[in-house]
Amino acid sequence: MSDKAADSGSRVPVPDGFGLDELHSLDRGALEAQFDALVSALGAAHDANDAQRCMLLDLQSHQVELEIQGRDLREAQKALELSRNHYARLFDEAPVGYVVFGPEGRILALNLTASSLIGRPTAELEGVSFLDFIADSEREGFRCHLDDVFAESDVSHSLCDLVLHLAHSGGMRVARLCSVRRDARSGPECLTVLLDITAEYEAERERQASEQLRQAVLDALPSQIAVLDRDGRILAVNRAWRELAEESGVSDNLRDAIGPGASREASSGGFDRAHPGGDATRGIWQVLRRERSGYSVEYASHRDRHRRWFLMRAVALDGEPEGAVVAYVDVTERRLAEEEARRARDVLAQVARLNAVGILASSLIHEILQPLSSATFYCSAAGQLAQGPNADPERLVDVIGRIDGQIQRAGDIMERLRMFLRGRKMHKVMASLGQVVSHAFALVQWFATDHKVTLEYRVPEDLPELLVDPVQIEQVLVNLICNAIQAMEAAGSERRQVRVEVIRGDREVRLVVKDTGPGIPGGRHDAVFDIFESTNDSSLGLGLAISRSIAEAHGGRLWAEPGATEGAELHLTLPLANLEPSTSG
């Protein structure tokens, strides 16, 4: 067989219209059809040579490779589609809003969260200007925000933050914008994260409203009030505090007034109302350190030649933050009123003492006349012993001594009367209660004797001295004893006795004046202490009222009770000296 014949006999028929130059113009379906036809032709040629068989093998190998690549491509496309759908879902369902803005502020794309925040469907928002949903007062701020984003040359550091009020169908919503620039194929874009901060905004508004209300309440209070933290720094003050600080000329040092440096004595000394003394400063710090729950002190402040009184109170704050509230109350008017009341009480006490002396007048005259009469008798005897046949110098010296004793006795009686009647302010000293009771009994002894009344008193030997005004306590006892004597005289009591018992307690001393008279009418045990109230028609009704005020001025009490079996009991309590009320608590 010739080569030509061999060539012609070994040629594989090629399907019509199949050319290598035309492969690029075939679509996938046509290309697969041509390929299948070629493989079939090669397989049908029984006399194909080795080259043709190799070609057939190569084509079949490429077919397998193409099928594998096609399958891989389809799987990759499917995975890409799943990934795209996954990230699209993450984008739409993200808890924050995502928006893409153009340079003019138009919405190019956004997720469902952003559309929900704006209050419109996504389809209605794309291509719409974001300015349409912004409050008029904040549109300029959004424009400046976009300008700042697009002006950034370094894309990775172009974050911006802006708070906007969005007009929402359900009301105003507040969003925070965090944006960054992105250079896309179509041009620069603004990628923005929208954060719904409506709840935080409302909470902040409520906090500010609460703060304003708290400040308004503080400012409405007439007291000067400061709130301190646990380190003594001032967190807040009210208007009254600021006004007094400005009036005092120390407004620049206001926040250092009770700060950490306040433990130094009076700091700079300029703000004296914050530093009434070292004890007050220590008291405030004890409250701040929770060593005590509260502290108070009254002190005088001298400014512009005027004396003003302040009551300072420090109370620990409960909860957070830890600290204390310090309040300064101007109690000048109260102190002046108390001083006026004390003066009035002293005047009334003087009137009551004069009234008591009037009651005791006849007895006192008798008591004074007795030593004077004795002195007169001794003087007559002295004259006889000084000259004449019965002169006796030694006995004369003894008689002169007796005269001196009687005159001294009369002088003591007059001195007690003078002290009793002298008008003066209360003056407390450490005094023996036994001596006070003894002096009171000495004043009323003749009065009691004239009315056939027996007086007794019992005072414990170990009773300590008390911080009292002896004259005023003596006045109270004289008044109580005289009232008892007069009550028994008016009732014609057969057994007449007044007994004073002194009983020591843990915190106070109690004096009980008991009588055997008719007692106080039922239901009037407290009424007898009212001013101008008296069961005696000849009395002014001042004695018991003044006696109670004297007891209270000493930190004690005075009240009446019915006797156990008869008469009445008047109880007077006085605090022990070491328990005298102080100005701090």
Say if pTM beats, i.e. exceeds, 0.75: no
Instruction: Kindly tell me if the per-residue pLDDT of 267 is higher than 80.
Output: no
Residue 550 has pLDDT above 90, yes or no: no
Closest CA to 60 of 29, 39, 33: 39
* Amino acid at position 71, single letter: R
Contact 378, 402 (CB under 8 A): yes
239-270 burial, b at 16+ Cβ within 10 Å, e below that, comes to bbbeebbeebebeebbebbbbeebeeebbeee
Helix (H, G, I), strand (E, B) or coil at 180: strand
Q: Residue 570 pLDDT > 90, yes or no?
A: yes
| Predicted local confidence at residue 583, as pLDDT | 40
Residue type, 86: H
Cβ–Cβ contacts within 10 Å for residue 524, how many? 13
Q: What are the backbone angles phi and psi of residue 325, rounded to the nearest 5°?
A: -110, 125
- Residue 120 corresponds to which tokens in the numbers above? 């419109």
Q: Band of the pLDDT at 365, cuts 50, 70, 90?
A: low
Report how far residue 528's alpha carbon sits from residue 526's, in angstroms, rounded to the nearest whole number.
Answer: 6
459 touches 437 (CB < 8 A): yes
* Dist CA 112 CA 92 (whole Å): 5
Degrees to nearest 5, angle at CA 223 with 217 and 225: 70
Does the pLDDT of residue 61 top 90, yes or no?
no
Name the helix (H) or strand (E) containing 166.
Answer: strand 160-168
pLDDT digits (tens, 9 = 90+) for 512-534: 999 999 988 877 777 787 754 45
Span 182-216, pLDDT tens digits: 888 888 899 999 888 888 888 998 999 988 888 88
Instruction: Indicate if the pLDDT at residue 289 is higher than 70.
Output: yes
Non-local (6+) Cβ contacts of 489 within 8 A are 451, 496
Q: Which token pair is 542?
A: 């001042």
**What is the Cα–Cα distance from 174 to 193, expressed in whole angstroms?**
13
pLDDT on residue 275: 47
DSSP 8-state secondary structure symbol assigned to residue 494:
S
- Percent of the chain, pLDDT > 70? 67
User: Is the per-residue pLDDT at 34 higher than 60?
Assistant: yes
pLDDT for res 175: 84
pLDDT tens digits, 296-348: 888 777 665 677 788 888 888 877 678 888 888 888 888 888 888 777 777 76
**Between 140 and 263, the higher pLDDT residue:** 140
Q: Report in angstroms the alpha-carbon separations of 314 from 212, 231, 282.
A: 23, 14, 11
Cα–Cα distance measured from residue 420 to residue 364, given in angstroms and rounded to the nearest whole number: 13
The yes-or-no verdict on residue 256 having pLDDT over 50 is no
Residues 111-167: tens digit of each pLDDT? 988 888 888 888 888 899 998 888 888 888 888 888 888 887 665 555 565 676 666
Report residue 169's pLDDT band, with 50, 70 and 90 as the boundaries: low
Closest CA to 167 of 223, 123, 119, 207: 119
Q: What average pLDDT score do residues 465-477 get? A: 88
Does residue 6 register a pLDDT over 50?
no
H or E element, residue 561? strand 557-562
Interatomic CA distance for residues 294 and 312, integer angstroms:
11
Name the nearest CA neighbour of 468 among 380, 366, 580, 388.
580
Let me know: does 189 contact 182? Beta carbons within 8 Å: yes
CA dist., res. 572 & res. 554, Å (int) = 11
Checking if the pLDDT of 566 tops 70, the result is yes
Low-confidence winner among 73-87, 143-157, 316-330, 432-446 (lowest mean pLDDT): 143-157
**In this model, does residue 97 exceed pLDDT 80?**
yes
DSSP 8-state secondary structure symbol assigned to residue 134? B
Question: Containing H/E element for 400?
Answer: helix 393-421
Nearest Cα residue to 254 out of 224, 220, 281, 285: 224
**What are the chain's domains?**
3-89 (no CATH), 94-202 (3.30.450.20), 235-321 (no CATH), 338-579 (3.30.565.10)
Give Cβ neighbours of residue 190 (< 8 Å, ≥ 6 apart): 100, 101, 102, 103, 146, 149, 150, 179, 180, 181, 182
In three-state secondary structure terms, 156 is helix
